[in-house]
Amino acid sequence: MSKVKEVQRAQHHVPDLLKATHATTAANANEYLPNADAEKAPKPSWARQSIPNFPQLSEFEVVRHFTKLSQLNHSIDGGMYPLGSCTMKYNPRINEEVAAMPRFSHMHPYLPQQNVQGTLEVMYLLQQALMDITGMKGCSLHPAAGAQGELAGVKMIRKYHDEKGQTQKKVILVPDSAHGTNPATAALSGFSVKTLNSNADGIITLDEIKDKMDETVAGLMITVPNTLGIFEKEIKEIAGFLHAHDALLYCDGANLNAMVGQVHILNMGVDVMHINLHKTFSTPHGGGGPGSGPVVVSDRLLPYMPNPQVIKKQDGTYALADVEKSIGKYRGFYGNFGMFIRALCYIYAFGRNKLSDISETAVLNANYIKHHLRDFYDLPYTSRTLHEAVFSDKLQQKQNKVKTMDIAKRLMDFGYHPPTVYFPLVVDGALMIEPTESESKAELDRFIATMQQIAQEAKEDPDKVKTAPHRTGIKRLDETLAARKPVLTWNPDEV
Ligand SMILES: Cc1ncc(COP(=O)(O)O)c(C=O)c1O
């Protein structure tokens, strides 16, 4: 072992060193290492007999390795992350500080309720805030992500019909522009899925619902605004029609950022909606998670909420309470508590009257990009859009067979995370751009100029785009192989 590594090992025993008054330099450390002979003594059978082949690296080498790895990754702190439908907004540092306070972060979920009143209060206040923002009648913070919120929501719809003995209600309607989790959730909850077709303006019409409606329809899952960024303007009429047939309305709230502070969700006729705290309410995601997908419900679904709820008792204290006909628990304990603190800080930082600043700026930013790129990229739907702009590669394909994936990869050369690609499925070669409200005009202008340059290159120097990225540590991956057979460990023998 090199002298440097010996010294570094010795430094693990710094407390011993400190006790030794004459130990003034790390070079003396050997004297304080544990007795080397003890390491040679026979070990009990359950103990490891030999040290595994760990790489023999200094701390400094390890730090450099992980720092380099972290720099290969794109992050919202490193550059714009216009991933459509994902709302990759800035994660304010103050929220991290509050969440890290030991009185929150050191709480154990088994502590008696009287000892965690502050923690319960945070949860109660967040439930109240989410109900206030949406106008809904109940809130469960339980689900760990949007998709799990969907599962809880659709299970509540199932329970609603079961309680009424409506066993014939076996179908959930899902638009063709929906996120894949919607039909997957419906199927996982025991429903079959009937697809609704968007019209030429990119929305679902009441006529389309009427066409697909029969006594088997249990509900509709619809994203508002939808994944094209378009507000479903017939939503109220659709809700009324569904309710007249005792079918319920699930609103996928992944795009709430487009209308937070603007729209009363209950008045839209919604019975249940999940809210991605890691999108609208700025908690970290995209590798920095975990997520959090609270659900808010109308009166119809109040009796079936996931357990437990946080309630405020008459004496002003907080407690966990169960709903009698609950669909049950959806995860261990009470949800991703650290995310609740962050989201609550974010909501309180704006305050009720200023929340609409978020959606107004997000919509403005997306439309600014749309306006400046519409002469460079095909815009398949020309309806008014909110928080995101969905282009396609039609022009670039026609000119020189440059595809969406090529454009996405070329963007990486300029330090941008690519937009969402090939989704929603109703757009061939979709490029779905969502800047969020976090980006400055200067950053939007840089992004626009880059996208315009790529469109120019696709026309004049298509190979440059087709062979991108040129400046990243890793070029084009076999993404299927990478997903199916990820290489997650490093073996020094294989270097
Ligand atoms: C429209 C829509 N619905 C549902 C989800 C699922 O949310 P989560 O990733 O939090 O599970 C997403 C995620 O991006 C989405 O965009």
Domains of the chain: which residue ranges?
3-72, 93-350, 355-482
Give residue 69's pLDDT: 85
**85 pocket-lining for ligand 1 (C-beta < 6 Å):** yes
Give residue 72's pLDDT: 84
**269 pocket-lining for ligand 1 (C-beta < 6 Å):** no
- Return the residue whose CA atom lies nearest to atom 13 of ligand 1: 86
Give residue 32's pLDDT: 61
pLDDT in tens, 138-155: 999 999 999 999 999 999
pLDDT at 3 over 70: no
Atom number of ligand 1 nearest to Cα 181? 4
Give residue 160's pLDDT: 98
Range with the poorest average pLDDT among 41-55, 109-123, 277-291, 298-312: 41-55
Give residue 254's pLDDT: 97
Give the mean pLDDT of 280-303.
Answer: 91
pLDDT at 490 over 80: no
**396 pocket-lining for ligand 1 (C-beta < 6 Å):** no
- Return the residue whose CA atom lies nearest to atom 8 of ligand 1: 146
**283 pocket-lining for ligand 1 (C-beta < 6 Å):** no
Query: In the chain, pLDDT over 90 holds for what percent of residues?
Result: 79
Query: In the chain, pLDDT over 70 holds for what percent of residues?
Result: 90
Give residue 138's pLDDT: 98
- Return the residue whose CA atom lies nearest to atom 16 of ligand 1: 85
pLDDT at 452 over 60: yes
What dotted CATH number matches 93-350? 3.40.640.10
pLDDT in tens, 162-207: 999 999 999 999 999 999 999 999 999 999 999 999 999 999 999 9
Q: How confident is the model at residue 446 (pLDDT cuts 50, 70, 90)?
A: very high
Fold matches, 93-350 and 355-482? no
Give residue 20's pLDDT: 44
**292 pocket-lining for ligand 1 (C-beta < 6 Å):** no
Give residue 14's pLDDT: 42
Give the mean pLDDT of 54-80.
Answer: 88
Give residue 15's pLDDT: 46
Domain range 355-482, CATH architecture: Alpha-Beta Complex (3.90)
Name the average pLDDT for the chain. 91
pLDDT in tens, 376-430: 999 999 999 999 999 999 999 999 999 999 999 999 999 999 999 999 999 999 9
Six token digits for residue 291 = 């997520």
Q: What is the SS3 assignment for the chain? A: CCHHHHHHHHHCCHHHHHHCCCCCCHHHHHHHCCCHHHHHCCCCCCCCCCCCCCCCCCHHHHHHHHHHHHHHCCCCCCCCCCECCCCCCCCCHHHHHHHCCHHHHCCCCCCCHHHCHHHHHHHHHHHHHHHHHHCCCEEECCCCCHHHHHHHHHHHHHHHHHHCCCCCCCEEEEECCCCCHHHHHHHHCCCEEEEECCCCCCCCCHHHHHHHCCCCEEEEEEECCCCCCCCCCCHHHHHHHHHHCCCEEEEEHHHHHHCCCCCCCHHHCCCEEECCCCCCCCCCCCCCCCCCCCEEECHHHHHHCCCCEEEECCCCCEEEECCCCCCCCCCCCCCCHHHHHHHHHHHHHHCHHHHHHHHHHHHHHHHHHHHHHCCCCECCCCCCCCCCEEEECHHHHHHHCCCHHHHHHHHHCCCCCCCEECCCCCCCCEEEECCCCCCCHHHHHHHHHHHHHHHHHHHHCHHHHHCCCCCCCCCCCCHHHHHHCCCCCCCHHHC
Q: Which residue has better confidence, 382 or 11? A: 382
